[in-house]
Structure 1
Amino acid sequence: MNNRLETFVKENRKSFDVLEPSAGLWAKIEQELDSKKKKKPVNLYLWISAAASIVIVLGLTWLYVGSMRNRDIEIADVNAAIAKKEIHFAGLITEKRDSLAIFASANPDLYKKFTSDLKKLDEDYERLKAELPTTPNQLYVVKAMVKNRELQLQLLKQQLMIINQVDDYKRVNQI
């Protein structure tokens, strides 16, 4: 069978040679081969998963480091007994502030003065609270925070006493 094919090709060689492909066809084939060489299949899924993994690892690292750096230390973490005192004082302070706010409408100027004094003490308390995680002597700062709450409570008691005296004076002088 192989011989029959060879003999057929030899006998009809001239008719095969007449039909040659055009020169432009070879240029197109070369161009397609070059473009196929340049295009490498990109595994998009692989790149997206690698980028997502990096983002997740960086995010978790940032959260862990941030939580360790900005760890809020509560008073109870330093001393439980002092924390109970602070909670007690905070409750009383809230109660006294509410009482003071009731008298605000009757004496707005006096109320503004009182609240400005309390605001200064609150700012000091917040500064101490911010200092607590970084200070080497946390017990000292916690004691200062409780002392600040005590001062706030004493100030509120004095302010309420002054307001009561002013109200008594107004009642006596009206008659």
Structure 2
Amino acid sequence: MKQDIRNLFNEEDDLKTLPENHRIEFVEKLKKQSKPKQNPYAWLSAAAILIIALTIGFNAMEMKSKPELKQTSPIIAQVEAVEAEYLANIETEWQSFIAIADDAVLVERFRKNLEDLDNDYQDISLQFKEDSNNILVIEALVENLQTRLQILKDIQNHIKILNQANKQYEKSI
């Protein structure tokens, strides 16, 4: 039963050449496979697109027919006013702190703390935009601003006390 495979191919000459119509058969099979199949549910996607387009069109027409002035609620206006005031005070206190402080490490440490508080504030601000009537979010916004401002004031008081102690120490020497 053992046979050399090379001898098997030498004996059969018809395996060496392809039939004459091989190329034509191959092209026909290729054409059959490459024909796009029709999706029986193609009309469903067209109908869905039409429904979506009509919905958007009707909504756009409703918005044009009801000209409403976009008014901010009184709560949002108040929070924005408080926010602007606190941010202005925080910036003023920060600039004063930088002018007084001699220690670059201290300035960098408090800059990092204030930056972390600012990142928290941005997160809370996003929550406020999503739900502007939530009193807890509003309180968190104001508390964050108050904390930042109080940190700066405490730092400046501490620096003033240190500077006064240094001046008294220098006078006593």
Query: TM-score, normalised on structure 2?
Result: 0.51
Partner residue in 1 for 2:126: 130
Matched, 1:81 2:74: no
In structure 1, C-alpha distance between the alignment counterparts of 2:130 and 2:86, rounded to whole Å:
24
In structure 2, C-alpha distance between the alignment counterparts of 1:162 and 1:134, rounded to whole Å:
39
Mark the CA change 1:90 to 1:153 in structure 2 (over 3 Å): closer, same or farther. same
CA contact (8 A) 1:128 1:141 kept: yes
Partner residue in 2 for 1:103: 100
Matched, 1:146 2:134: no
Q: After TM superposition, give the deviation of residue 76 of structure 1 in Å.
A: 6.8
Question: What whole-Å deviation, never above 9, does each CA across 1:27-72 have from its counterpart, x for those lacking one?
Answer: xxxxxxxxxxxxxxxxxxxxxxxxxxxxxxxxxxxxx9xxxxxxxx
Mark the CA change 1:168 to 1:131 in structure 2 (over 3 Å): closer, same or farther. same
Q: After TM superposition, give the deviation of residue 92 of structure 1 in Å.
A: 0.8
CA RMSD of aligned residues (A): 2.8
Query: Which consecutive residues of structure 1, in runs of 5 or more, have no partner in the other structure?
Result: 1-63, 65-74
Question: What whole-Å deviation, never above 9, does each CA across 1:5-24 have from its counterpart, x for those lacking one?
Answer: xxxxxxxxxxxxxxxxxxxx
Q: Secondary structure at the match of 1:133?
A: helix
Partner residue in 2 for 1:21: none
Mark the CA change 1:77 to 1:136 in structure 2 (over 3 Å): closer, same or farther. closer
Query: Which consecutive residues of structure 2, in runs of 5 or more, have no partner in the other structure?
Result: 1-59, 61-71
Larger radius of gyration: 1
CA contact (8 A) 1:76 1:82 kept: no
In structure 2, C-alpha distance between the alignment counterparts of 1:82 and 1:129, rounded to whole Å:
10
Q: Secondary structure at the match of 1:88?
A: helix
Q: After TM superposition, give the deviation of residue 126 of structure 1 in Å.
A: 1.0
CA contact (8 A) 1:78 1:139 kept: no
CA contact (8 A) 2:76 2:132 kept: no
Query: TM-score, normalised on structure 1?
Result: 0.50
In structure 1, C-alpha distance between the alignment counterparts of 2:116 and 2:75, rounded to whole Å:
25
Mark the CA change 1:164 to 1:76 in structure 2 (over 3 Å): closer, same or farther. farther
In structure 2, C-alpha distance between the alignment counterparts of 1:81 and 1:130, rounded to whole Å:
17
Letter in 2 for 1:82: V
